[in-house]
C-alpha cells in the first residue's frame, strides 16, 4: 500500500526537489500523529480570503515557495490577520516582498493557516550525524536557541527516559514549568511528541533533516506551526 507520506515524497522527488514545502512537511508529520496547525495553499488573493473564512479568522499568511527557506526574514510571514481586508492586503504584500528579495524564486502561492493561540515556543529538530545516524534536538524557540544554544540531543531511537531527560536538561526548563504566573506546559505531552518524531524518523530513512520550528507548547498539548523536511539525495 502506498502511504500518503510516500505520495508526498514521490511528488517532490519527481520534481527534482529534496526540500519539502511547509505544506508538504506539515502533511507528512501530521501523518505521524503530530498535531500541526491546519494549513492550505492559496493561489490567488480571493482564494486566500475564502480559505481564511473557512478556517476561521484570525489567520497567518506565509510565502509558499521551495526557494524561500527563511520565510519571515524575507517578509514572507504575516500573523494575526483578523479581517478579509487584512488577508487580501497581506497576500499582496508577501508576494511583493518576495519578488523584491528573491526575483528568481518559484512561488507556489501563499499558505493560509489558523493563528495558533500563544504558547511557549519550543523547537524539535532531527539531523544525521556521520557516526551516530539520526539525532534529535530539543530546545526553547527564538533567541534561546539562536543566541544561547540552549539545546539537548539524543540519538534515535529515543526511549521514554531519553525524552524526559532531554526536556529537563535544558537551562530554560523552568520556563516550561510555569514562570512568573504562566501556566506550566504539559511536559508529558512534549515527551510523547519527541517519541513520535523519533518513531517517524526511524520509519522514514529517506528523511535527511527535520525541523519543527516552532512548536507552541500549552498546558494541554502542543501544536507545530512551522515545519521543514529535507530528503536524502538519491545517488
Q: State how far the Cα of 67 lies from the Cα of 80, in Å rounded to an integer.
A: 25
CA distances, 120 to each of 40, 102, 140, 176 (Å): 24, 32, 8, 7
Say how far apart CA 232 and CA 218 lie, in whole Å.
33
Q: Is 213 near Mg ion (CB under 5 A)?
A: yes
Helix or strand run (H / E) with residue 40: strand 39-42
Contact region with Mg ion (CB under 5 A), list: 20-28, 171-179, 181-189, 223-231: 223-231
**With CB cut-offs between 5 and 8 Å by kind, which of ligand ADP, Mg ion, none does residue 79 bind?**
ligand ADP
DSSP helix, strand, coil percent of the chain (3-state; round to 5): 35, 30, 35
Which of 65, 74, 226, 229 is close enough to bind Mg ion by CB under 5 A?
Answer: 226
- Residue 115 found at the interface with ligand ADP (CB under 6 A): yes
Contact letters for ligand ADP, residues 37-56 (x by CB under 6 A): x-------------------
Rank residues 40 and 114 by Cβ distance to ligand ADP and give the closer one: 114
Helix axes 45-55, 84-101, angle to 10 degrees: 130
- Pick the piece of the chain touching Mg ion (CB under 5 A) from 76-84, 108-116, 197-205, 225-233: 225-233
72 binds ligand ADP (CB under 6 A): yes
Amino acid at each position: 500500500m502506498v502511504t500518503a507520506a510516500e505520495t508526498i515524497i514521490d511528488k517532490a522527488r519527481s520534481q527534482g526537489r529534496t526540500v519539502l514545502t511547509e505544506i508538504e512537511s506539515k502533511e507528512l508529520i501530521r501523518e505521524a500523529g503530530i498535531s500541526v496547525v491546519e494549513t492550505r495553499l492559496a493561489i490567488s488573493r480571493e482564494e486566500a480570503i475564502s480559505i481564511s473564512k473557512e478556517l476561521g479568522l484570525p489567520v497567518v499568511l506565509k510565502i509558499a515557495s521551495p526557494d524561500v527557506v527563511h520565510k519571515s526574514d524575507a517578509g514572507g510571514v504575516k500573523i494575526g490577520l483578523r479581517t478579509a481586508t487584512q488577508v487580501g492586503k497581506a497576500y499582496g504584500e508577501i508576494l511583493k516582498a518576495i519578488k523584491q528579495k528573491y526575483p528568481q524564486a518559484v512561488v507556489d502561492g501563499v499558505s493560509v493557516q489558523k493563528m495558533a493561540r500563544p504558547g511557549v515556543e519550543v523547537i524539535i529538530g532531527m539531523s544525521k550525524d556521520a557516526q551516530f545516524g539520526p539525532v534529535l534536538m530539543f530546545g526553547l524557540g527564538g533567541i534561546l536557541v539562536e543566541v544561547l544554544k540552549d539545546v539537548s540531543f539524543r540519538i534515535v531511537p529515543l526511549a521514554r527516559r531519553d525524552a524526559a531527560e532531554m526536556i529537563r536538561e535544558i537551562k530554560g526548563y523552568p520556563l516550561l514549568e510555569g514562570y512568573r504566573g504562566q501556566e506550566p506546559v504539559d511536559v508529558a505531552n512534549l515527551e510523547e511528541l519527541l517519541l513520535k518524531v523519533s518513531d517517524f524518523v526511524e520509519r522514514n530513512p529517506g528523511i535527511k533533516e527535520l525541523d519543527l520550528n516552532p512548536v507552541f507548547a500549552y498546558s494541554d498539548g502542543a501544536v507545530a506551526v512551522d515545519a521543514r523536511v529535507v530528503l536524502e539525495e538519491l545517488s
